[in-house]
Chains A and B, each alone.
Chain A
Amino acid sequence: MKNALVLARKDFESYVHSWAGVLVSVFFLLIAGIFFSFFVLGYAKISLEAAKGAYETVQGLGLTRFVFSSFFLNMGSLLIFWVPLLSMRAFAEERKQETLELLFTYPLSDFEIVWGKFLALLGFLKMLLLPTLVYVLILSKLGGDLDWGPVAIGYAGFLLLGSAYLSLGLFISSLADSQIVSAIVTFGCLLIFWILDWVAGVTDGFWAHFFSALSPLDHFREFTFGVLDLSHIAYFVFFHFYFLFLTLRSIETRHWKG
Chain B
Amino acid sequence: MASPDPKFEVAPPVAPVMVRVEDISKNFGNVRAIEHVSFEIRQGEVLGFLGPNGAGKTTAMRILTGFFPPTQGRVWIGEIELFKKPKEAKRHIGYMPESVSLYGDMKVLEFLGFVARIKNVPRGKRAAHIEEKLQRCGVGEVKNRLIGQLSKGYRQRIGLAQALIGDPGVLILDEPTNGLDPKQIVEVRSLIRELGKERTLILSTHILPEVSMVCDRVLIMNRGSVVASGTTEELEAGLKKAHEIFVVMGDRCRKEEALDILRSISGIDRITVTEEKNDQVSFSMVISRNEDLRPVISRLFVERKLPLLEIRSGRLSLEEIFMKIVLDEKSGRDF
Contact = CB atoms under 8 A, between A and B. Distances in A.
Interface of A: 3, 6-7, 9-10, 13-14, 17-18, 97-99, 101-102, 104-109, 254-258
Contacts of B27: 256
Given A101-B67, A102-B97, A108 B118 contact: yes
Interface string B15-36: 0000000000001110001000
B103 A107 contact: no
Interface of B: 27-29, 33, 59, 62, 65-69, 86-88, 90-91, 93, 95, 97, 99, 101-106, 110, 114-115, 117-120, 162
Nearest to A97: B101
A107 B118 contact: yes
B289 to A, nearest CB: 44
A97 B86 contact: no
B67 A104 contact: yes
Contacts of A106: 90, 115, 118-119
Contacts of A17: 105
Minimum-distance CB pairs A-B, first 10: A98-B101, A107-B90, A105-B65, A105-B95, A6-B117, A255-B68, A258-B28, A10-B114, A107-B87, A106-B118
Contacts of A13: 106, 110
Main secondary structure of the interface of A (DSSP, over half): helix
Contacts of A3: 118
A256 B62 CA distance: 13
Contacts of B33: 258
21 contacts: A6-B117, A7-B118, A13-B106, A14-B103, A14-B106, A17-B105, A99-B101, A99-B102, A104-B65, A105-B66, A105-B95, A106-B115, A108-B118, A255-B68, A256-B27, A256-B28, A257-B28, A258-B28, A258-B33, A258-B59, A258-B68
Contact of B87 (A9, A99, A102, A108): A108
B224 to A, nearest CB: 13
Nearest to A108: B118
A13 B91 CA distance: 25
Contacts of A109: 86-87
A107 B97 contact: no
A171 B88 CA distance: 27
Contacts of A7: 118
